[in-house]
A = this chain, B = another copy of it.
Amino acid sequence: MTTGVRRRLTVEERRQQLIGVALDLFARRSPDEVSIDEIASAAGISRPLVYHYFPGKLSLYEAALKRAAEDLADRFREPHEGPLGARLLRVMRRYFDFVDDHGPGFSALMRGGPAVGSSTANALIDSVRQAAYVQILSHLRIEEPPARLELVVRSWISLAESTALLWLDGRRVPREELEVQLVQDFAALIAVAAANDGPTAALLKPLLRDEPGDGPFADLVTRLVLLAA
């Protein structure tokens, strides 16, 4: 548990180390099942010392959650270059990388983990959704969306969450297929909204014109035409 070269960590370094250790453990087992003893042991320090840095397990869980939320929100950042479908697909790849890496922790949080109901956990979940929403709007080049478009973008973000959660339960569909599917779902849901709402249609038409013939949006249209034939 000790090494000859270990130097004394600062308080902040130690806190960050414990957060990292906790996230590693939560990635393999539900946070409910991970004890402070295990976290202490994995970090190579005593249990009382953990309590020196975090007053309790909830506090450490919330700190870990905060780091994970920032990480997840960051994955929605994408350069404003190239066709929209390809950008969204890269975002979905990073999103599923996260889900893949944090499986049990992600499930526990989204399905009611130890800190759910705590205002901190709910605020962090909301902050990720809001960051994703702001990013997607910026890629749509829209600042003030009509109510219907806002609802569609936000509900698609929920769809990505629920699809990822369902995928984690058995991983019976290759994740690469779901990444493409979610990009196509985005196109499909936006199309339904545009088909029923003039302002949404007017905003989106110019964007679709920029999509290449071999992107996920065009691929969907081709496949749908084949299906209907």
- CB pair B166 A151 closer than 8 Å: yes
Total copies of this chain within the assembly: 2
Beta-carbon nearest neighbor of A226 in chain B: B195
- The interface of chain A, by Cβ under 8 A from chain B, is 111-114, 116-117, 121-122, 147-148, 151, 154-155, 158-159, 161-163, 166-167, 170, 172-173, 177-178, 180-181, 184-185, 188-189, 191-197, 201, 205, 220-221, 223-224, 226-228
Report chain B residues within 8 Å CB of A193.
181
A159 to B185, CA, bound (A): 11
A188 to B61, CA, bound (A): 39
Beta-carbon nearest neighbor of A188 in chain B: B188
Q: Which secondary structure dominates chain A's binding surface? A: helix
14 A-B contacts, Cβ less than 8 Å apart? Answer: A112-B116, A147-B173, A148-B173, A151-B163, A154-B166, A155-B162, A155-B163, A159-B162, A162-B162, A181-B192, A184-B192, A185-B189, A201-B227, A221-B228
